[in-house]
C-alpha cells in the first residue's frame, strides 16, 4: 500500500472518530436518545426489583425472622418432611415422563408431515391457555369415585384422585409443553440432513438418534428439563384440586405452605417457601452456569 493510501486511511479513521465523539453529531435512525435508554433501563430494573427481587428477598427475610433455630424447627415437622419428599417424588416421575413425550412429539412434528400435525401442535400448547384449576377439575370429573371412570377404578381398587397418581397426572398435564416446545423449533431448523447422512452411512435408527439427533438438541433438551422440573415442583392449582389437601399424604410443598400460612404459622410457611425458592434459584444457577461454561458449544450449535 502506498504512503498516500495509508495517509488517506488514517485521515478517514480520525475523521470518523471525531464525528463519533462530537456531542452534536446526528443520531442514527435506529439509535435512541440517551434519556430514552436511561428511562427504559430504569423501568426494567424497577419492574424486576418490585415484582421479582423484593418478594424473593422478603421470603428469606421472613423465614429467618425468628432466627435459624425457628427456621430449622419448621423442617422437624413430619408433615413438612412428607411434603418435601412427595414434591421430589412427583418431579422424579413427571419430568422423565415429559422427557419421553417431548422428544417423541418434537421428533414427529419436526421430522414428518402427517394429517393433524397442526392440531397436535395446538394440543401441546393447551396447558399454556387452560387454567391449572380447570385441568384439576377435569381430572376429578373423570377419575373421582363418582366420575366417569370412577366406578370402574373403584371396583378395581385403583385410587387416582386424592392420591399420588392424580397428583402426578395433574403435574404432567401442566408441564408437558416445556420440553416439546424447546425441541420443536430447533429440530425444525436443523432439518433432516444429518440424519439422512447417518442413514446413508449405514447407521441404524437407534444409533442415529444417540449419535446425531440427541447431540444436536442436547442444550435445548436440558433447558426444557430444567424448566419442566422447576414447574413440577412449584405447581399449585391443578395439584390443589386433585390432592384433597391430606396432610402427610397428598400435600406437596406449595400446598403445605398454604396450610401453614392459613394456620398463622408464618415462620414455618416462609421457611418451606424459602426452600422451594432456593430450589428454583439452584435451577436458574445451573442453567446460567451451563450457558457460561459451554458458551462456545451453544454458539456452535446455533450456527449449525
The gap from C-alpha 283 to its chain's centroid, in whole angstroms, comes to: 9
Q: Where in the chain is the domain with CATH 1.10.3720.10?
A: 67-297
| C-alpha distance from residue 241 to each of 26, 226, 258 (Å) | 61, 25, 13
Q: Quick one: fold of 67-297?
A: MetI-like fold (1.10.3720)
pLDDT of 35 reads: 83
Cell readout for 214 is 440427541
**pTM value?**
0.80
pLDDT band at 4 (very low <50, low <70, confident <90, very high): low
DSSP state of 211: I
Cell readout for 252 is 406437596
Cell numbers 417424588 correspond to 89
pLDDT band at 273 (very low <50, low <70, confident <90, very high): very high
- Whether the pLDDT of residue 10 is over 50: the answer is no
Say how many C-beta atoms besides its own lie within 10 A of residue 147's C-beta: 18
Query: 164-207: per-residue pLDDT in tens?
Result: 999 999 999 999 899 999 899 888 888 888 888 888 888 877 88
Q: Crossing angle of helices 78-111/214-234, nearest 10°? A: 140
Exposure string over 37-55, b if 16+ CB within 10 A, otherwise e: eeeeeeeeeeeeeeeeeee
Amino acid at each position: 500500500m502506498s504512503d498516500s493510501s495509508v495517509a488517506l486511511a488514517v485521515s478517514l479513521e480520525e475523521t470518523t472518530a471525531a464525528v463519533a465523539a462530537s456531542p452534536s453529531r446526528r443520531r442514527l435512525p435506529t439509535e435512541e436518545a440517551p434519556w430514552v435508554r436511561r428511562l427504559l433501563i430504569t423501568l426494567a430494573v424497577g419492574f424486576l426489583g418490585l415484582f421479582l427481587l423484593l418478594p424473593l428477598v422478603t421470603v428469606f427475610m421472613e423465614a429467618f425472622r425468628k432466627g435459624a433455630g425457628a427456621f430449622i424447627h419448621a423442617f422437624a415437622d413430619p408433615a413438612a418432611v412428607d411434603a418435601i419428599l412427595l414434591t421430589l417424588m412427583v418431579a422424579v416421575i413427571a419430568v422423565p415422563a415429559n422427557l419421553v413425550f417431548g422428544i417423541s412429539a418434537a421428533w414427529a412434528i419436526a421430522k414428518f408431515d402427517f394429517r393433524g400435525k397442526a392440531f397436535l401442535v395446538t394440543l401441546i400448547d393447551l396447558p399454556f391457555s387452560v387454567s391449572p384449576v380447570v385441568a384439576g377439575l377435569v381430572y376429578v370429573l373423570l377419575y373421582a369415585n363418582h366420575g366417569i371412570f370412577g366406578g370402574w377404578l373403584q371396583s378395581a381398587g385403583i385410587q387416582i384422585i386424592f392420591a399420588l397418581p392424580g397428583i402426578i397426572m395433574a403435574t404432567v398435564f401442566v408441564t408437558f409443553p416445556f420440553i416439546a416446545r424447546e425441541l420443536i423449533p430447533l429440530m425444525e431448523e436443523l432439518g433432516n440432513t444429518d440424519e439422512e447422512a447417518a442413514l446413508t452411512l449405514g447407521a441404524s435408527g437407534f444409533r442415529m438418534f444417540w449419535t446425531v439427533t440427541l447431540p444436536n438438541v442436547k442444550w435445548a433438551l436440558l433447558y426444557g428439563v430444567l424448566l419442566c422440573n422447576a414447574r413440577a415442583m412449584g405447581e399449585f392449582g391443578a395439584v390443589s384440586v386433585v390432592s384433597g389437601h391430606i396432610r402427610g399424604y397428598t400435600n406437596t410443598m406449595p400446598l403445605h405452605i398454604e396450610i401453614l400460612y392459613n394456620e398463622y404459622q408464618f415462620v414455618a410457611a416462609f421457611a418451606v417457601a424459602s426452600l422451594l425458592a432456593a430450589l428454583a434459584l439452584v435451577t436458574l444457577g445451573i442453567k446460567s452456569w451451563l450457558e457460561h461454561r459451554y458458551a462456545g458449544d451453544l454458539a456452535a450449535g446455533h450456527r449449525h
